[in-house]
Amino acid sequence: TKGKNIMTAYTPALMRSKLRALELTSRLQLSVVNGMEGFRLVYQPFAHSKDLGLAGAEALLRWSGEPFGEVTPAEFIPLLESSGLIVPVGKWVLEQAVKTCKKWSDREPDFIMNVNISYLQMLDESFAGHVEKTLKENGLDSRHVVLELTESCFVTDMGGLKEIFRHLRGMRIQIAMDDFGTGYSSLGMLSQSPADIVKIDRLFIEAIDRDENVFNRSFIASVIKLCHSVGITVCVEGVEEQDELRAVCALEADSIQGYYISRPISPEAFEEKYWGSD
């Protein structure tokens, strides 16, 4: 009918999801105010593809709190971003990950810790200084740390981020382009990007071992070749099965991440898995 007004655009389901987002955002804010209560990090190892030996780990944020229970990052990260809370939370994530990395790199001299950084954190003018301070306070050499940025950071507004990239480069911090292939960057852009590492999104690994996936296989093969030709190393994400691993190794990726190696696990479980109990 013609009687459509603004209110009818909001279905009950949409109202409910907007309400949940609002309530969850204020609950997350409370967690931040209460000293990051309810936040924790889990760690997913990644391995050298040549021998599957431990290369490092990616720190992944988790949150749970009453009355919501455990909420997925896919839901709470966008809310942290839209509310600006990602800035203090991101600082906390970096500090925790650096502390853990200090401990683990004492056991594994070449251990690498990857930390996800939101675009909004990069825009915060205190960002590079905070990274520098955190490393210094924990006595961790910058070669152990990789900052993961989504592909969109490299495409949108590269100009605004150039200065920060320069600062990070000066500290010899490595940058990884995360979720490669899901955004708008082209293969050609890779050669000019400030990334040291490219992480190919798991979308492309899905069923890579099946014959009909010739497109994904050749896409990955091209990305790897091109990256190697300009000195960028490549991590393939989302390797879940042995056959996928075989297919990916044949394409000469440098490192492998995915459930086949391990799911993200608590720091205690990580230590138990790699260094046994003591």
Question: Residues in the site for ligand C2E, rule: CB under 6 A?
Answer: 44, 60-61, 72-74, 77, 93, 116, 118, 178-179, 202, 238-240, 257-259, 264
3-state DSSP percent of the chain in helix, strand and coil, to 5 = 50, 20, 30
Question: Closest separation between CB of residue 205 and ligand C2E, Å?
Answer: 8
Of residues 178, 224, 253, 262, which one binds Ca ion by CB under 5 A?
178
Q: How far apart are CA 209 and CA 214, in angstroms?
A: 9
CA distance 64 to 165: 33
From the list ligand C2E, Ca ion, none, pick the one residue 93 interacts with, judged by a Cβ distance below 5 to 8 Å according to partner type. ligand C2E
Q: Is 151 in the site for Ca ion (CB under 5 A)?
A: no
Q: x/- site string to Ca ion, residues 59 to 98, per CB under 5 A?
A: ----------------------------------------
Nearer to ligand C2E, 115 or 140 (CB): 115
d(CA 71, CA 75): 7
For the CB of residue 180, give the shortest distance to Ca ion in the complex, in Å.
8
- CA end-to-end distance (rounded Å), the chain: 71
Selection from Ca ion, ligand C2E, none that 77 binds (CB < 5 to 8 A by kind) is ligand C2E
Looking at beta carbons only, is 10 or 239 nearer to ligand C2E? 239
- Which residue pairs, CB below 8 angstroms and at least 24 apart, start in 265-268? 265/42, 265/43, 265/44, 266/40, 266/42, 266/43, 267/41, 267/42, 267/43, 267/100
* Binding partner at 209 among ligand C2E, Ca ion, none, C-beta below 5 to 8 Å by kind: none
CA atoms within 13 A on the CB side of 57: 28
